[in-house]
Amino acid sequence: MSTWVKENCVSFFQLFCIKVVKTGRVPQHIAFIMDGNRRFAKKHNVQRNTGHSKGFDKLSETLKWCLDLGIPEVTVYAFSIENFKRSEDEVNGLMDLARDKFQRLLDEMDQINEWGVRIHVAGRLALLPEDLQALVAKAMLLTKNNNKLRLNIAYSYTARDEISRAASHLVDGVNNQELLPEDIDEDLVSQTLELGEPELLVRTSGEVRLSDFMLWQISNTVLYFTDVLWPEFSIWDILAAIIYFQRHAPPARLEDSISEEKLNFLERLEKSRWQQLENMAAIVAS
């Protein structure tokens, strides 16, 4: 049984409903702010970290729904840089949960490859404990050729930090004479960021804030807020969000072409990111 993609969680009737929804436009990239784990724990009188663990289980169900819906890219907000300010006990619990899940992902690589899931962890990874950095880096390196569903996990992430890191890469590009200052435009900034633009953003638990998530990327995104707590999010909630998207989505935009200099800069940046991951993965192995 796979940990990351929950099998057998869709009935025939639900599959039929998925097929009906798929006759309309389905977002090609969906993002989730998975909010409400602690309120769920309080409501059910269980430990806070049990709430987060139930939150992970819901993520694995959601990934199955997204695979069945044919959504090729999913981004989830799993740990914000602000979350480091929570109690030591809760932060340690969340780090342990991540260690456990990434270790299991590495142990279950055959199943992940069968599902075709590619993992990308976006954020300031240097803030994480070194052993977790190594696990995360290995997960990204070992799944990089999968192409059915790209799962971006925003971890140790805020949008403003992501934008600052992109700005610093662009300054390096100009200093190295790969780019001219006038090359820096909206498209290049977008492509220098770690995360792409979602077509639909869902936030659970009734909060109607963005909490520093994908601020640059959502300028054209349909926003869907629901009161349900993340661990209680159901297939009917995701279908309702997609039907809402079908009623409100702006027309899909065509990508502009890109100059050779910009392409070379982006390729070099991508290469240096993979090199950093190789180094991170080697820290603990050595």
Q: Which residue's Cβ has the minimum distance to ligand FPP?
A: 55
Using the rule CB under 6 A, give the single segment among 48-56, 111-119, 126-134, 249-257 that binds ligand FPP.
48-56
The binding track of 115-154 with respect to ligand FPP, each residue x by CB under 6 A or -, is --------------------------------------x-
Give least dist CB 204 to ligand FPP, A: 9
Q: 136, 166, 127, 94: which is closest to 277 by C-alpha?
A: 136
Structure tokens at 187: 């498209």
CA distances from 17 to 13, 60, 225, 236 (A): 6, 20, 21, 9
Structure tokens at 3: 């940990």
Cβ count within 10 A of residue 284? 14
Sign for the CA dihedral angle at 17, 23, 29, 32 comes to: negative
- Catalytic residue selected from 52, 69, 125, 151: 52
212 and 158 Cβ atoms separated by less than 8 Å: yes
Instruction: Identify the residue among 27, 31, 56, 73 touching ligand FPP (CB under 6 A).
Output: 56
Using the rule CB under 6 A, give the single segment among 30-38, 125-133, 174-182, 250-258 that binds ligand FPP.
30-38
161 is an active site residue: no
Burial class (CB in 10 A: 0-12, 13-18, 19+), 219: exposed
Q: Which residue carries 């054209």 as its tokens? A: 220
- Pick between residue 230 and residue 265 the one whose CB is nearest to ligand FPP: 230
Instruction: Identify the residue among 6, 29, 52, 262 touching ligand FPP (CB under 6 A).
Output: 52
Instruction: Identify the residue among 28, 50, 60, 83 touching ligand FPP (CB under 6 A).
Output: 83
Interaction of residue 98 with ligand FPP, rule CB under 6 A: yes
CA 28, CA 26: separation in Å to the nearest integer?
A: 6
Binding stretches for ligand FPP (CB under 6 A): 34-39, 52, 55-56, 59, 78, 83, 97-98, 101, 153, 205
